Amino acid sequence: MAKYNPKSLIAEEFISDEEIRATLEYAEANKNNVELIDAILDKARPQKKDNGTFCTGLNHREASVLLACEIPEKIQEMYKLAEEIKQAFYGNRIVMFAPLYLSNYCVNGCVYCPYHHQNKTICRKKLTQEEVRNEVIALQDMGHKRLAIESGEDPVNNPIEYILECIDTIYSIKHKNGAIRRVNVNIAATTVENYKKLKDAGIGTYILFQETYHKESYLKLHPTGPKHDYAYHTEAMDRAMQGGIDDVGLGVLFGLELYKYEFAGLLMHAEHLEAVHGVGPHTISVPRIKRADDIDPDVFDNGIDDDTFAKICALIRISTPYTGMIISTRESQAVREKVIKLGVSQISGASRTSVGGYTEEERPHDSEQFDVSDTRTLDEVVKWLMELGHIPSFCTACYREGRTGDRFMSLCKSGQIQNCCHPNALMTLKEFLMDYASEDTKKIGEALIQAELENIPKEKVKEICKENLEKIQNGIRDFRF
Ligand code: SAM
């Protein structure tokens, strides 16, 4: 049996099944140990140091004890702490993005995904560069500045050259005041050489969901195709980092395996990246299985209810305080509202999960990857967020200023985030209001910006931000700190 070693580059050593099982036993044995639970919660609390606030986070064993704990008052404490940590590092900002599906050709046999190659009913599509252009214009016209490109795995139909060409096309399109300023990439595990190419193409985060950390289940859930190779998939983030990409995004597809197992695996993966590369994951996504073309989510036994889902989100926030958390339109408005408070920092809006979906008048279902629960327009989502007291942010500054990997983490830890991310959020929201918002949204947004300007600590930064807002009002775009 493989010995647990977070510094190893071998999948079965840094995600050790033995260590996960021991963790789950330890968590179960201590789930009513109030003294230990209190000590873990205390360890995770934000602390003041020099000018900033810092958090130590929790390791997979500590976090698993909290996940196992079912004492209602302790769960409320976890929620409160998650909210506090969210406030300390992310304030009330929520970064907006949209997925862009390039191709649903796929050679894999993933049993939960409608793109699996045996599916003969789904309409297979791959965007031409002209179609990419039209989709991007449609996304720009909604107000999006940040995309996550998505594609099935198919070396013939969607080779890396195709993905790179699409990225070039996306960045090149300047339509009215629109621009896509950050392209994140969610494509199958690949080689160091290909990760270098993605890095050179100027991508933001490389995102790859592990789906499940349980090797035996992984092999059954991915019976055929290159994705069947558990080690190659699990070690992908190390290759991405070797290729120079220092912002990587992890995720588990909740519903496939027992959530406590997945949660421990996810945190062990984050600890491994920190141990080997000196920087943890930039983001963690928390998708749950959804209905799709020939996929019935009820076939999978491990679905989790909304309360468990919220607890997982809160505990990810507590355990990895400097890692962004992403929630997609797989979740309903009500669930999104709950987990945004508990620590989610990025959400998608007005998503179409079909290839070519943004240029269709009606939401198409023939090539969709999954059913969308939150079907509101971007303007509606932005308005809703502001009414709840959040600042929708279209900021893409960090990676364009070279603040990636540990440089981003230092910004988080230094206390300067409020002088940087906060004004950037206000300026990019102002752009949205000027160029894309409805009258109602604009009114709420202008008032919010005026009120939130007062929350910029440094006078000098506040002054510059005010000047820039004035310039945006007069038609100039793209300011950042
Ligand atoms: N093909 C790439 C890969 O293999 O990693 C990534 C792109 S895939 C379009 C994005 C993610 O969608 C997958 O990693 C999976 O977690 C998720 N997904 C697949 N089927 C789903 C379903 N039925 N419901 C919800 N999410 C699903």
Predicted TM-score (pTM) of the model is 0.97
| Ligand 1 centroid from CA 83, angstroms | 29
Ligand 1 atom with the smallest distance to the CA of 253 is 16
Q: What is the pLDDT of residues 270-302, one digit of tens each?
A: 999 999 999 999 999 999 999 999 999 999 989
Q: Would you say the CB of residue 289 lies under 6 angstroms from ligand 1?
A: yes
At residue 203, does pLDDT exceed 70?
Answer: yes
Output 468 or 416, whichever has higher pLDDT. 468
Ligand 1 atom with the smallest distance to the CA of 297 is 23
3-state secondary structure of 38: helix
Asked if 427 contacts 464 with a C-beta cutoff of 8 angstroms, the reply is: no
Q: Would you say the CB of residue 112 lies under 6 angstroms from ligand 1?
A: yes
Query: What DSSP state is assigned to residue 51?
Result: T
State what percent of residues in the chain have pLDDT above 70: 99
Residue 407 is inside which H or E element, if any? helix 405-414
Residue among 102, 210, 217, 253 to mutate when testing ligand 1 (max atoms within 8 A of CB): 253
Q: Where are the alpha helices (DSSP H) in 91-200?
A: 129-142, 160-172, 192-200
Q: Would you say the CB of residue 153 lies under 6 angstroms from ligand 1?
A: yes
Q: What SS3 string covers 208-228? A: CCCECCCHHHHHHHCCCCHHH
Residue 379 is inside which H or E element, if any? helix 378-387
Asked if 118 contacts 341 with a C-beta cutoff of 8 angstroms, the reply is: no
Give residue 304's pLDDT band: very low, low, confident or very high (50, 70, 90). Answer: very high
Residue 209 has a CB neighbour count (10 Å cut-off) of: 16
Ligand 1 atom with the smallest distance to the CA of 189 is 5
Q: Would you say the CB of residue 293 lies under 6 angstroms from ligand 1?
A: no
- pLDDT value of residue 415: 67
At residue 453, does pLDDT exceed 90?
Answer: yes
- pLDDT value of residue 446: 98
Output 406 or 7, whichever has higher pLDDT. 7
Ligand 1 atom with the smallest distance to the CA of 113 is 20
Q: What is the pLDDT of residues 168-195, one digit of tens each?
A: 999 999 999 999 999 999 999 999 999 9
Minimal-distance CA residue to ligand 1 atom 21: 113
Residue among 113, 153, 195, 235 to mutate when testing ligand 1 (max atoms within 8 A of CB): 113
Residue 11 is inside which H or E element, if any? helix 11-14
Q: What is the pLDDT of residues 348-379, one digit of tens each?
A: 999 999 999 999 988 778 878 888 999 999 99
**Dihedral angle sign, alpha carbons of residues 316, 85, 421, 271:** negative
CA-to-CA dists, residue 314 to 310, 388, 444, angstroms: 6, 19, 29
Q: What is the pLDDT of residues 10-48, one digit of tens each?
A: 999 999 999 999 999 999 999 999 999 999 999 999 998
Average pLDDT score over residue span 135-147 = 98
Cross-strand pairs, 95 = 346, 393
Q: Would you say the CB of residue 144 lies under 6 angstroms from ligand 1?
A: no
